[in-house]
Chains A and B, each alone.
Chain A
Amino acid sequence: DGGITQSPKYLFRKEGQNVTLSCEQNLNHDAMYWYRQDPGQGLRLIYYSQIVNDFQKGDIAEGYSVSREKKESFPLTVTSAQKNPTAFYLCASSSSSGLEGYTFGSGTRLTVV
């Protein structure tokens, strides 16, 4: 079955460390996205990518980095520069138009200790 796989489900990080969240899709979708969810807020866009080797900053990109070396993969690195990294992170993908809606992964909960 096609879908999006995010790993790990839970992640603990010490302050000052970078950490990479994995996102893989086998839906042949062109576009991929990273969102962050905080309590009481809607999903906020971190980064998005429409094609391989190209990606754009979303609304809250500071302290994050991404790569898109393969169509199937869009890993997100939370760097030590991210001031408040503890959050729930969702990866999504869609066709290039987005008009079929987004397909989401099951999320990664990152806790900085």
Chain B
Amino acid sequence: ILNVEQSPQSLHVQEGDSTNFTCSFPSSNFYALHWYRWETAKSPEALFVMTLNGDEKKKGRISATLNTKEGYSYLYIKGSQPEDSATYLCAWNSGGYQKVTFGTGTKLQVIP
């Protein structure tokens, strides 16, 4: 199984700070890259699915970029709020609906 790596593993930021984290994946056999937000005691929720090199997606204060040639994606949160506290998972889809490999996540804690 090829690895998907996320960094950092965890981080704490102050409310109002902007932050970003990284998802690295194999650059071969790329089909799509997923980002999910997983709040404690809730279900993981899909944020973005990106398929094209250079893709940029935005939802409110959260955005993501994708570089398939070098195998990385960045997730950015602008002006972090306490409700952004969650684990952010990325998943590399290497072809077909089922070939999805998940990273271990970045756990974000926003301090009021």
Majority DSSP secondary structure for residues of A touching B = loop
Contact at B43–A42, with CB atoms within 8 Å?
Answer: no
Residues of A within 8 A of B93 (CB): 98
Contact at A97–B97, with CB atoms within 8 Å?
Answer: yes
Is B49 in the interface zone, CB < 8 Å from A? yes
Is B96 in the interface zone, CB < 8 Å from A? yes
User: B35 — nearest CB in chain A belongs to which residue?
Assistant: A101
Complex Cα spacing A50 to B96, Å: 11
Contact at A42–B49, with CB atoms within 8 Å?
Answer: no
CB neighbors of A among B26-66 (8 A) = 32, 34, 36, 41-46, 48-49, 51
Is B4 in the interface zone, CB < 8 Å from A? yes
User: B97 — nearest CB in chain A belongs to which residue?
Assistant: A98
Residues of A within 8 A of B97 (CB): 31, 50, 94-98
Contact at B101–A42, with CB atoms within 8 Å?
Answer: yes
Most buried by B among A40, A59, A96, A101: A101
Least CB distance, B64 to chain A, in whole angstroms = 12
Least CB distance, A36 to chain B, in whole angstroms = 11
Residues of A within 8 A of B96 (CB): 98
- Residues of chain A whose beta carbon lies under 8 Å from any beta carbon of chain B: 4, 31, 33, 35, 40-45, 48, 50, 56, 58-59, 90, 94-107
Q: Show 14 residue pairs from A and B whose CB-CB distance is below 8 angstroms, ordered by the A residue.
A: A31-B98, A33-B98, A42-B102, A42-B103, A42-B104, A42-B105, A43-B91, A48-B98, A59-B1, A90-B43, A98-B93, A99-B32, A101-B34, A101-B49
